Amino acid sequence: MEDKDIKKIAEIFVNYSCKIKKGDVVLISADLEAKPLVKEIYRQSLLRGAYPRIEWGIDDFSKIYYDNVNKDQLLYYPKISEFAFKNTDVFIYIRSPLNRDELKNCDTRKMTLRQKILRPLLEIRLKKRWLVFIWPNKTYAKDAGLSLNKFKKFVFEATLLDWKKISKRMNKIASYLNKSDKIIIEGKETKISFSIKGKKAVVANGAYNMPDGEIFTAINEKTANGYIYFDYPLRVFGKKIKNIKLWFKNGKVIKFNSSDNNSLKKMLNTDKGSKYIGEFAFGFNPKINRFSDALLFDEKINNSIHFALGNAYPECNGKNKSAIHEDIVKDMKKGKVFADGKLIYKDGKFLI
């Protein structure tokens, strides 16, 4: 049964998400645990006349790098990688690390600096076809509080959906948001408002993430005022930050509190844009109804919203620039969202 699911998932990635065709140069960057899926994607890419290559990730390489790198090496911009990125049509990232806390004790200043240096590579990749997926392993299953078999079932069911059907519903909501201006969010320790006028709501229906299922947009950068509490933790720089509460004035974070204020402060001080909201989104995957401590899944929780601090997406008409884009998820099972005074979302469900 698992082999059939793997084949179906690979077909979705190759045909639907990445639309791989004859002549495409395809990079499959993956961790060793994901070998069964990687082999099938590689096979199907070849059958379509593409030119796939595989880069394997190995646990602890990043830790070795940050524990031993000097400043000159941190500032080094890999032109050879830039050449490879510019000459690649499709990027498929399949992550399945056995040690998710690999960077926990590494120097966050080094990681922040390295993000800035590598930013041009990210900008090249974002203009291409790309996809991110997490292959279920024992580490992720343990963090989600599930057995490996149950976690695989959870991931596969959230991926093997009728994405065209789901897209129709999301498109209707996105169209409504595109005509809206002032958004107000109310909930647990939360009352915040901002404007999305002139921004574009985008339907995430499996083109870049799998599992997918979210409607995201940008905001007018200096309009956020109020405060918001995030029920779910943020993993950043190898650390888990819980109970995050942010206060905004004229779009900027002016006050914050969390279980790890030191790490949160370093993230917020990355650059000028890291204290501003780059993304506002609703989770929309009908098969993701629980927290799993994996952001790729958690930002799609069916009764949630999330903000991303930092860089905004150009396709949303977002203007904020930053080296970071850090998503933080809020449970909305007891929350409300208003658009121009009208209640459009209550207790995790759309009313429009």
Per-residue pLDDT of the chain in tens (352 residues, 90 and over written 9): 588 999 999 999 999 999 999 999 999 999 999 999 999 999 999 999 999 999 999 888 999 999 999 999 999 999 999 999 999 999 999 999 988 888 888 888 899 899 889 999 999 998 999 999 999 999 999 999 999 999 999 999 999 999 989 999 999 999 999 999 999 999 999 999 999 999 999 999 998 999 999 999 999 999 999 999 999 999 887 788 999 999 999 999 999 999 999 999 999 998 999 999 999 999 999 999 999 999 999 999 999 999 999 999 999 999 999 989 999 999 999 999 999 999 999 999 999 8
How far is Cα 168 from Cα 161, in angstroms, rounded to an integer?
A: 13
Instruction: Identify the burial level of 243 via C-beta atoms within 10 angstroms of its C-beta, where 0-12 means exposed, 13-18 middle and 19 or more buried.
Output: middle
Closest CA to 50 of 71, 26, 14, 85: 26
What does the pLDDT read at residue 58? Answer: 86
Supply the pLDDT for residue 237.
Answer: 76
b/e 176-198 (16+ beta carbons within 10 angstroms → b):
bbeebeebbbbbeebebebbbee
pLDDT at 224: 98
Task: List Cα–Cα distances, 76 to 71, 113, 324, in angstroms.
Answer: 9, 11, 19
- What does the block give as tokens for 122? 């990210």
Q: How far apart are the first and last CA of the chain?
A: 38
pTM of the model: 0.84
Domain ranges of the chain: 2-159, 163-350
User: What is the predicted pLDDT for the residue at 1?
Assistant: 56
The predicted pLDDT at position 92 comes to: 98
| Residues 6+ positions from 197 with CB-CB distance below 8 Å | 180, 181, 182, 220
Q: Which fold has domain 2-159?
A: Thermophilic metalloprotease-like (3.40.1830)
Q: What type of residue is 108?
A: T
DSSP letter assigned to residue 269: T
The C-alpha angle 109, 113, 114, rounded to 5 degrees, equals 115
* CA gap 216, 207 in Å, rounded: 14
226 alpha-carbon distance from chain centroid = 24
Please, which residues have CB within 8 angstroms of residue 149's CB and are 6 or more apart in sequence? Answer: none
Residue 318: C-alpha distances to residues 197, 220, 250 (Å): 11, 8, 16
Look at residue 293 in the predicted model and tell me its pLDDT: 92
The beta-strand segments (E) located in 205-303 are 209-210, 214-217, 225-230, 234-236, 239-241, 244-249, 252-257, 277-283
Phi/psi of residue 27, each to 5°? -105, 120
